[in-house]
Structure 1
Amino acid sequence: MRMVIARCEVTYSGRLDAYLPPATRLLVVKADGSVLVHSDGGSYKPLNWMSPPCTTTVEAPAETDPEGTQEVWRVRARKGEDELRVVVHEVLHDHSVDLGVDPGLVKDGVEAHLQVLLAAHTDTFGEGMRLVRREHMTPIGPVDLLLRDQAGAHVAVEVKRRGEIDGVEQLTRYLELMNRDPMLAPVRGIFAAQEIKPQARVLATDRGIECVVVDYVGLSGRDDPTARLF
């Protein structure tokens, strides 16, 4: 991960246009290629960002640039015309660190039990769905459930107690990597939770991910521990 504190201005163009005037901000570049622009406020949410898959190129400023620009970052989505353009006027701090492979999120009791229940009742996601395995490992962590649908295509399911944008981003990264594997592709995604926030649903729909709201209480009533091997 690279963390840069810089005086910069940011322009996003593509499906929407947005502009951040010059100010001191934190720029975060992650190993998966994503770039996030943070201010000293707003909790965890960045002011703007580009999600993977994307590519970043760094350009020198024009010789006639009157603003004292040091460099220009162009972060482009691999699909579509979206571009995040960061004009860096002054770098105050630049540090990189290797965080290694993250073990993934440790589930709480309800979330872990919900995953077990859904593995036992795959028809929750549609007729003919069958379980391939739980906790299918990807290079960046395990996706909760790997299923096959009636047509034999793979389906990756991410299970949350409360479905928020972070969960959709997590599933998006899993799908990107899984669809590079010719033994799995094509893989579609399902985001399953007891409650799914409207913003998360919009983002999931935009990325072709199906949302399923799960009735934990009702599903628990269907569960028969004597019929399961684990």
Structure 2
Amino acid sequence: MRVVIARCSVDYEGRLQAHLPLATRLLMVKADGSVLVHSDGGSYKPLNWMSPPCSMAEVEPTEDETDEGVVGCWVVQHAKSEDRLRVRLHEVLHDSSHDLGVDPGLVKDGVEAQLQALLAEHIHTLGEGYSLIRREYMTAIGPVDIMCRDAGGQTVAVELKRRGDIDGVEQLTRYLELLNRDPHLAPVTGVFAAQLIKPQARVLAEDRGIRCVTLDYEALKGMDDADSRLF
């Protein structure tokens, strides 16, 4: 990854036109070719960016740019469209490159990982006759948390979250669309399981034929037997 802090202006041309006036910003060039322009604010979201596939070239500024104090230019061209990013560097304050190596990917936090393990162990929580196929069932767009079969032998994909929101429903929807293309698995239904499911997520899931299940983490751990409670 290349990290540059510079006083710069940025123009985006293509499907839309956007201009960032001269200011000090953080520029990131990643190994996948993406280029991101950040300010010191706005949380994680860049002010502007170019996603791969794209190529970046460092070119000499035009005569007019030189007159304006530009000392260097980056031209970032998308490979599949006319979208182009032109970064005009007026002053480079920092420029360094770092090899970050291979990223191991996102590791789920302890509770969500335990939820997955516990639900796989007690798959009957989803209903009588359910049986486990496997955890972390890999697909071309990522792993499904749990794949199982219901009492009738139909394949069921389970997406697990601590807090179930709309993004989780969308993620499960994408998995279901892909899995149902496989004649060896189809028809595949979905279960959206979480400790807490937001009302909007529940409405969206049920509208798409996805069953929602609220999980009792303590009961799954065996520390709290829900059937024997008075309240």
SS in 1 for 2:214: helix
| Change in 2 beyond 3 A, CA 1:82/1:64 | closer
Query: Given that residues 114 and 216 in structure 1 are in contact (C-alpha distance below 8 angstroms), is that contact kept between their aligned partners in structure 2?
Result: no
Give 3-state SS (helix, strand or coil) of 2:24's partner: strand
Residue type at the aligned position of 1:57: A
Larger Rg: 2
Is the contact between residue 162 and residue 193 of structure 1 (CA under 8 Å) also seen in structure 2?
A: no
Code of the residue aligned with 1:13 in structure 2: it is E
Please give the per-residue CA displacement for 1:17-43, whole angstroms capped at 9, x wherever unaligned. Answer: 211001111101111111111111112
Residue 11 of structure 1 is matched in structure 2 by 11
Normalising by structure 2, we get a TM-score of: 0.54
Aligned residue number for residue 134 of structure 1? 136
Give a deviation string over 1:141-189, Cα, whole Å, max 9, x none: x93249xxxxxxxxxxx9866799x99xxx9xxxxxxxxxxxxxxxxxx
1:155-170 matched pairs, under 5 angstroms: none
- Is contact 2:74–2:86 with CA below 8 Å preserved after alignment? yes
Q: Structure 1's 100 and 15: CA in aligned 2 closer, same or farther, altered over 3 A?
A: same
Q: Return the match for 1:215 from 193, 206, 212.
A: 212
Could you tell me the percent identity over the aligned residues?
A: 59
Structure 2 unaligned regions, length at least 5:
124-132, 146-158, 172-191, 199-207, 218-231
| Cα distance in 1 between the residues matched to 2:10 and 2:164 | 29
Q: Distance in 1 between matches of 2:193 and 2:76?
A: 32
Structure 1 alignment gaps of length 5 or more: 122-130, 147-157, 172-191, 197-210, 221-230
Opposite residue 212 of structure 2, the aligned amino acid is: D
User: In structure 2, the residue corresponding to 1:68 is in which secondary structure?
Assistant: coil
Cα drift, residue 108 of structure 1: 2.6
2:43 is aligned to: 43
1:59, distance to aligned residue in structure 2 (A): 0.9
Q: CA deviation at 1:214?
A: 7.3
Question: 3-state DSSP class of the match of 2:57?
Answer: strand
Equivalent positions of 1:93-132 (< 5 A) are 93-109=94-110, 111-112=112-113
1:193–1:212: 8 Å Cα contact kept in structure 2?
A: no
Aligned to 1:61: 61
Change in CA separation of 1:4 and 1:112 when aligned onto 2, cut-off 3 Å: same
CA contact (8 A) 1:76 1:84 kept: yes
**Aligned alpha-carbon RMSD (Å):** 4.5
